[in-house]
Amino acid sequence: MSQQLEKATRQLLSPGGIDNRDIEKTLDKMIVNNIDYADLYFELSQAEAWVLEEGIIREGSHSIDQGVGVRAVSEDKTGFAYSDEIVLPALTDAAKAARAIAKSGGKQTLQAWQNQNIAPLYPGSNPLDSIAPGEKIELLKRIDTETRKKDARVKQVIASLSGSYTAVLIAGSDGVYSGDIRPLIRLNVNVIVEHNGRLEKGGSGGGGRFGYEYFLNDELISSYIDDAVSQALNNLDAAPAPAGATTVVLGPGWPGILLHEAIGHGLEGDFNRKGASAFCNRIGQRVASESVTVVDDGTIENRRGSLTVDDEGTPTEATTLIERGILRNYMQDKLNAGLMGMRPTGNGRRESYSHLPMPRMTNTYMLGGEHDPEEIIGSVEKGVYASQFGGGQVDITNGKFVFSASQAWLIEKGKLTSPIKGATLIGNGPDVLTRVSMVGNDMQLDSGIGVCGKDGQSVPVGVGQPTLKIDELTIGGTST
């Protein structure tokens, strides 16, 4: 038994007096009457958040939650129930409710548990205990002080620190028996600047699957502060964005959120099984320019979107979705992979024990190319360079998207000139992929702030890309 599995078992099962025999008996009773598959997902989660505003701690919260989700699958139908008590009677009742979808028929065989000795991708310690509460408060106060020193125009600073510790245990009728200990931390710096009555804002931050000691790094904290303040000050000088079709260059790192939303969701298995994606039935076909290779990789150590095993106990992997413009694969959980005659890719994820798993991204990014970023910008006679993005909307069925750029500049005669604001990128994900003409050699992952929403569930994710040149994209702006 791995150290992660042993620790998860001790924390989740022992307090309620449940042991492995109880789990085996529960699963054995569930896989009757044409139940194809059943699983149990135990979870214990501790979370906290600290928010400092105007030099004062405005919020300090701490929560503990635990429970078990029980699922029974028969063909394309799923029965699901959950309990916030991890004791045998509650587990038995949830199992009865979940298997109520069963039809009359035969009985499946409970497979023997497989010993998965998978090396963990992150530490198994609790980040909430990694530094003392006083150190957390002092860190936020130092951020407030240093941010205000950057420029007299800084009028408001909001610094926040959050962390969570999650232990999970997954047992399935297919022989899966896995445990995982998942730390997660995040720090954000948000500022508001004012000049001649004009207010602008900026923000930065980062995190990952570490302890809080990750943030006890002066250089890292200074980079967050510098980014937040420079964003806000640039927006003070920004002119209204031009409207119309133009060449667009996307910066490295966080702009990969556009790739995530406009393309990544369309490559998730459930949308393709149901025929709801613009990429449905296109495996083996060209869907992008030859310079585009897109990967979803849940195996990068300490990254926000990484998981040692997904929420169905499948080890995560680096899945090549698009290879040199050719669609190669979809991201799959067990249910959709089985129904599509494919294999799971370690992308079965859920927000908590009270939610069903579904195909979700982990760390999704585009591989780097051969061009220097300066060469890419230098090749543009007139266009827009976007380095940061805010919110957006995407229609999965056709790939149409609308995204707002929170930081952007005009490109004129191969150089960045005036900052602009109010730029909205409007396009179609699959179409944009075919318009990528230059890919930079500067691939970056984001700093560790991504959150993905789907069907009412939120999970941490990572995004990334190199500098990209898109030959034509519509900009919605306020000037012509």
State the pLDDT at residue 398. Answer: 84
200-210 pLDDT, tens digit per residue, is 999 999 999 99
Comparing CA positions, the residue from 62, 206, 209 lying closest to residue 126 is: 209
State the pLDDT at residue 399. Answer: 83
CA 439/CA 200 separation, integer angstroms: 32
Residue 26: in which H helix or E strand, if any?
helix 20-30
State the pLDDT at residue 105. Answer: 56
Q: Cα dist. 213→126, 210, 329, 460 in Å?
A: 12, 8, 38, 20
| Between 215 and 102, the higher pLDDT residue | 215
Rounded average pLDDT over 459-472: 97
State the pLDDT at residue 407. Answer: 94
Confidence of residue 393 (pLDDT cuts 50, 70, 90): confident
How crowded is residue 266: how many other Cβ atoms within 10 Å of its Cβ? 26
State the pLDDT at residue 104. Answer: 57
State the pLDDT at residue 99. Answer: 87
SS (H, E, C) 428-458: EHHHHHHCEEEEECCCEECCCCEEEEECCEE
Would the pLDDT of 479 be above 60?
A: no
Would the pLDDT of 1 be above 70?
A: no
404-443 pLDDT, tens digit per residue, is 999 999 999 999 999 999 999 999 988 999 999 999 999 9
Would the pLDDT of 477 be above 80?
A: no
State the pLDDT at residue 384. Answer: 97
State the pLDDT at residue 391. Answer: 75
Strands 382-394 and 444-445: unpaired
Average pLDDT, the chain: 94
State the pLDDT at residue 103. Answer: 65
Confidence of residue 382 (pLDDT cuts 50, 70, 90): very high
State the pLDDT at residue 424. Answer: 94
Residue 97: in which H helix or E strand, if any?
helix 88-98
271-308 pLDDT, tens digit per residue, is 999 999 999 999 999 999 999 999 999 999 999 999 99
Strand partners, 392: 403
119-142 pLDDT, tens digit per residue, is 999 999 999 999 999 999 999 999
CA 34/CA 99 separation, integer angstroms: 10
Rounded average pLDDT over 144-151: 97
Would the pLDDT of 107 be above 70?
A: no
